[in-house]
Chain A
Amino acid sequence: MMLIDCPYCGERAQAEFTYERTLDSIVSLDMPVEEVLARLFSRANPRGEDRELWRHTFGCRQWLVLRRHRRTHAIAAVDPYAPDDPE
């Protein structure tokens, strides 16, 4: 079970969090349909580090961006989600 350093709460067990999706699969409501479909169904799945959207659902309930290595589970950074985050 991973340890996630919530920027609001500090280090907490993964059991308190829920995974939502990778950052590059967020679709806004004004995107054209082609882009929506590409983001939802044609995603990258890199072996290395990826940026993921998580929620501290059973803690502060805030949305967080994890830079997490898919193989080693090493978490390089945990930041509050900011909508202008570059993907």
Chain B
Amino acid sequence: MGRAIVIDADVALAPARDVTVLDLWEGELPAIAAGAMQVEPRRWWLIDRGEATEEIDTAIAGRGVLVPIGGGLTRATISGPGWRDLLSVSGFFDVHHSGFGAGSAVSTIIHHVPVRIRVTGASSCDVFFATSYASTLAELWQKTSKGG
């Protein structure tokens, strides 16, 4: 953690598109939806699972619903050794915590913007946020990181 080191991370922004909320008011998450990102006690996000939507919809019929939200979401793919440092800029969550490893997900705020972070590997993560904020976060990350 040198004082004069610019954060070493690359950021790529793209429309998230295929993101669907799975809400259940009864019962358990069906096996076919396993791996979905849990964002609330009774809510999951299906990310890039478009081909399974129909099957999942059938599996939860009468006790839940699928609602698309990806049309308004942007995904930032952040990679590089400095990704955790980058997410601590204007942030509030302990991204450096040893328990926050690959497969973990969290909802928090970065630079006034509600975000959901999904750790995808040792040196990469996806950050999802409303597209209206994309320029705000892109500007922040560009200012802060080497490869932003």
Other-chain residue from A16, A60, A61 in contact with B92 (beta carbon distance below 8 A): A16
The dominant DSSP class at the B interface is strand
**A14 — nearest CB in chain B belongs to which residue?**
B92
A62 to B108 alpha-carbon distance, docked (Å): 13
A19 at the interface (CB under 8 A from B): no
Task: Convert A75-87 into 0s and 1s, putting 1 for each residue whose CB lies closer than 8 angstroms to a CB of B.
Answer: 0000000000000
A62 to B93 alpha-carbon distance, docked (Å): 18
- Which bucket holds chain B's interface residue count? 10 to 19
Other-chain residue from B41, B92, B114 in contact with A62 (beta carbon distance below 8 A): B41
Other-chain residue from B39, B41, B93, B114 in contact with A12 (beta carbon distance below 8 A): B93
Whether B40 and A58, one on each chain, are in contact in the complex, defined by CB atoms closer than 8 angstroms, is no
A15 to B108 alpha-carbon distance, docked (Å): 9
Whether B109 and A62, one on each chain, are in contact in the complex, defined by CB atoms closer than 8 angstroms, is no
Whether A60 and B39, one on each chain, are in contact in the complex, defined by CB atoms closer than 8 angstroms, is yes
Residues from chain A with a CB closer than 8 A to the CB of B108 are 12, 16, 58-59
**B99 — nearest CB in chain A belongs to which residue?**
A10
B107 at the interface (CB under 8 A from A): yes
A12 to B114 alpha-carbon distance, docked (Å): 14
Residues from chain B with a CB closer than 8 A to the CB of A9 are 106-107
Task: Convert A48-63 into 0s and 1s, putting 1 for each residue whose CB lies closer than 8 angstroms to a CB of B.
Answer: 0000000000111110
A62 to B43 alpha-carbon distance, docked (Å): 11
Other-chain residue from B93, B107, B109, B114 in contact with A60 (beta carbon distance below 8 A): B107
Residues from chain A with a CB closer than 8 A to the CB of B92 are 12-13, 15-16
A77 to B114 alpha-carbon distance, docked (Å): 26
Closest Cβ of chain A to B97, distance in Å, is 10
Residues from chain B with a CB closer than 8 A to the CB of A62 are 40-41
B residues 87-121 near A (Cβ < 8 Å) are 92-93, 106-109, 114
Which 6 interchain pairs have the tightest Cβ spacing? Answer: A13-B92, A58-B114, A58-B109, A59-B107, A15-B92, A60-B40
Residue pairs across A and B with Cβ atoms less than 8 A apart, 23 shown, are: A9-B106, A9-B107, A12-B93, A12-B108, A13-B92, A13-B93, A15-B92, A16-B92, A16-B107, A16-B108, A16-B109, A58-B107, A58-B109, A58-B114, A59-B107, A59-B108, A60-B39, A60-B40, A60-B41, A60-B107, A61-B40, A61-B107, A62-B40
